Amino acid sequence: MCSLGMVQLFTVIDSWEFDHILAVTLLEASPMTILSTNTPSEELRRVDAAHHMHPFTNNSELGDKGARVVTRASGCWLTDSDGNRILDAMAGLWCVNIGYGREELAEAAKRQMLELPYYNTFFQTSHVPAIALAARLAELAPGDLNSVFFAGSGSEANDTNLRMVRTYWQAKGQPDRNVIIGRWNGYHGSTVGAMSLGGMKGMHEQGGVLDGIEHIDQPNWWSEGGDMSPDEFGLERARQLEEKILEIGADRVAAFIAEPVQGAGGVIIAPDTYWPEIQRIVDKYGILLIADEVICGFGRTGNWFASQALGLRPHIMTIAKGLSSGYQPIGGSIVCDEVAEVIGGVEFNHGYTYSGHPVACAVALENLRIMEDEKIVERVRDDTGPYLKERFESLGDHPLVGEVKIIGMMGSLALTPNKAIRAPFTSDVGTVGFICRERCFANNLIMRHVGDRMIISPPLVISRDEIDTLVERARLSLDETLVALQAQGLMA
């Protein structure tokens, strides 16, 4: 039994607006303890530390200082329990593309909950939201990507992809063609299958990595390019795929999976030579190409999908996050005609309770409608994206900043003690990035660090004035980080 006894949760919702009170009845406590957005931060942090296990977190360390408790959000701004107003330059976790507080999405969820709150899509059954969303995605997706298998997240969708490509080759009479190649430092989710496809070594160290999955190196020129030019390096890294195929045997390789732009790996944008060579190789050997668009899809690059920006022709695209702007958990795989036809001819023994959840589908449809009506993708491509690029690249003159990479509304800064030689810090990887992230938080700016890279992925609706604020606060945080590093002897 938990230390505070049995916990009963209930939510009181008034007229379907977001003014709600979360009441927690602690049966062993008297009088009843109520938690709400008006509860003092110290109490919220205490209960959070006692009962809430956070993802990707050392919870014992977090317990010492307590979590920052976010209570409200609107547009690109968060408000925490201490009343701080914070510019969210990460769109939550890369997902709140149309910004926070959109009542249209709440109304879409309400209507669908009243009409059909849940039904599954198993047993030759369907419903209108899933049908309509699948059809709309087929219209938006490039090429002949015309069929959708729904999931509850990007992780689930990549698990689907793993099983789908193996089923595809089995159905084609090539069951030995079951090896999938990914990239080191790629990220495809946190389930066992998705983690195995990805190349995050910290996750692999937990054990349980699936057999039949291989990895090649990432196209990160700044950290790994040595004396090669970016173009030379891009070709060298792409050709590792061909070398790996020949090492394994082309008749055993099922697919290559990669993010068009690496997200959680640090917003790594490959050199211009990389993707054309990858496309040539997969075409040459008849290997399926899976483009993981979970982060970079739905307008983030100034195109509906990053594959369009980079000229890729994937057989499968993984989607999630921006599909609903994070308002509902939903993901999926958009599949080309040839793969869908083969899979459709066999019993594909796979699916999830929430595949095509009607409320999630309804919210996603409304999200896509808003993006189209407000021309959000076009705005990123023609207006705010170029402006963010100009302003973000201005940080390249800072003594701590080596490389600045940006495409559309996602970018990164590589921090270095010596930009002339692309030197890493002598401290453990991530030490400097963590210091900079903490300075950003102190300055009411949400930026994330991946190792010693600082990354951004703001809501697509961010304004020019808000971009100016983002860059000003980022520069201030870099200045404060430099002072801290000099005080600690980590930089001359």
pLDDT digit string (tens) for 57-79? 888 777 778 899 999 999 999 99
Q: Across residues 122-150, what is the average pLDDT?
A: 98
The stretch 379-398 carries a mean pLDDT of 99
In the predicted model, is pLDDT for residue 6 greater than 50? Answer: no
Least confident residue range of 15-19, 216-220, 244-248, 399-403: 15-19
What rounded mean pLDDT belongs to the chain? 93
Banded pLDDT at 9 (limits 50, 70, 90): very low
Give residue-wise pLDDT tens across range 170-209: 999 999 999 999 999 999 999 999 999 999 999 999 988 9
pLDDT value at 90 more than 70: yes
CA-nearest of 259, 253, 312 to 287 is 253
Structure tokens at 79: 């408000």
- Is it the case that residue 8 has pLDDT exceeding 50? no
Find the mean pLDDT for residues 366-371.
99
Helix (H, G, I), strand (E, B) or coil at 416: coil
Residue 10 has pLDDT above 90, yes or no: no
Q: Are 307 and 317 in contact (CB under 8 A)?
A: yes
Distance CA 88, CA 90 (A): 5
Residues 430-457, mean pLDDT to the nearest whole number: 98
- pLDDT of 19 > 60? The answer is no
Element (H, E) at 171: helix 154-171
3-state secondary structure of 302: coil
pLDDT score for 492? 67
**DSSP per position, 52-87:** ---TTS-HHHHHHH----EEEEEBTEEEETT--EEE
Q: Which two tokens stand for residue 256?
A: 């290559």
Quick one: average pLDDT of 214-226? 98
**Confidence band, pLDDT 50/70/90 cuts, at residue 11:** very low
- Measured from the Cβ of residue 321, the count of other Cβ atoms closer than 10 Å reads 28
Of the candidates 209, 210, 160, 166, the residue with the CA atom closest to the CA atom of residue 318: 160
- Residue reference for tokens 């942090």: 45
Mean pLDDT for 84-109 is 98
Pull the structure tokens for residue 264. 């959680």
Alpha helices in 286-357 (DSSP H): 306-310, 337-344
The DSSP bridge pattern shows strands 331-336 and 316-319 to be antiparallel
Query: Confidence class of residue 33 from pLDDT cuts 50, 70 and 90?
Result: low
Set out the domains of the chain in order of their start, with CATH numbers. 7-67 (no CATH), 103-373 (3.40.640.10), 376-487 (3.90.1150.10)
For residue 332, pLDDT beyond 50: yes
What contacts 24+ positions apart, CB below 8 Å, involve 399-402? Answer: 399/482, 400/436, 400/478, 400/481, 400/482, 400/485, 400/491, 401/478, 402/222
pLDDT for res 305? 99
Question: pLDDT at position 2, please?
Answer: 44
Band the pLDDT of 36: cuts 50, 70, 90: confident
* pTM assigned to the model: 0.92
- Please write the tens of the pLDDT for every residue from 448-477: 999 999 999 999 999 999 999 999 999 999
Percentage above 90 pLDDT, the chain: 85
Residue 107 has pLDDT above 80, yes or no: yes
**How high is the pLDDT of residue 22?**
45
Q: What percent of the chain has pLDDT over 70?
A: 93
